[in-house]
Amino acid sequence: MDREAAEISFRKTVDTYGDMVYRLAVLYLKNRADAEDQVQETFLTLLRKQPQFQSSEHLRAWLMTVTANGCKNQLRSPWKRLTAVREDISHFTDSNCQSDADDRLDVVQAVLRLPVKYRSVIYLYYYEGYSTHQTAKILSRSEGAVRTQLRRGRELLRSMLEGFDDGTK
């Protein structure tokens, strides 16, 4: 493949998967600037390594794995532990209907309050549509652990949202 075709292919990949990578990074990092940095790092890794993929699903899973691992590395850094995190969830709530947007905002806010181990499996399973098997591979966890984390995450979400509906937080 010549340089121009490779550049067009790379741009198409960024256009196709950029939002998905960004949403996952925001979910982990809860900060727009850090998420944007992680998106850039993910695509730079793709550009540097230029791996060959069997299908678009393989590429998608690779991007999710690289993003998740990069976010985990950022969260482990001493600098990240010392800085305050801000929640930036506007990217998750694009809607023309205000009541639907408000409902989704409540759910997204509840998801963002979950511990990261629950937050990541719920995002991959419900927002990105991965199976528990695929989620387990992306996050390097067993399928049983993913199913348990989904169940516990749903229970936590249910209790958070029921508390919200009752007017208590």
pLDDT, tens only, 67-115: 999 998 888 775 554 444 344 445 554 545 545 555 667 777 788 888 8
Claim to verify: residue 54 and residue 104 sit in the same structural domain: no
Question: Considering the entire predicted model, what is its pTM?
Answer: 0.61
Model confidence at 159: pLDDT above 80: yes
**Number of domains comprising the chain:** 2
Boundary (domain end) residue, out of 57, 88, 119: 88
Give me the pLDDT at residue 164, please: 59
Claim to verify: residue 9 and residue 84 sit in the same structural domain: yes
Domain that holds residue 153: 95-169
Average pLDDT along the chain: 82
Claim to verify: residue 79 and residue 105 sit in the same structural domain: no
Boundary (domain end) residue, out of 88, 112, 134: 88
Claim to verify: residue 4 and residue 82 sit in the same structural domain: yes
Q: How confident is the model at residue 30 (pLDDT cuts 50, 70, 90)?
A: confident
d(CA 142, CA 28) in angstroms, rounded, equals: 20
**Mean pLDDT, residues 157-165 taken together:** 78
Encode burial over 111-134: b for 16+ CB neighbours within 10 A, e otherwise.
bbebeebbbbbbbbbeebebebeb
Q: What amino acid is encoded at 112 in this protein?
A: L
Claim to verify: residue 111 and residue 35 sit in the same structural domain: no
Claim to verify: residue 5 and residue 79 sit in the same structural domain: yes
CB atoms within 10 A of CB 30: 19
d(CA 94, CA 8) in angstroms, rounded, equals: 28
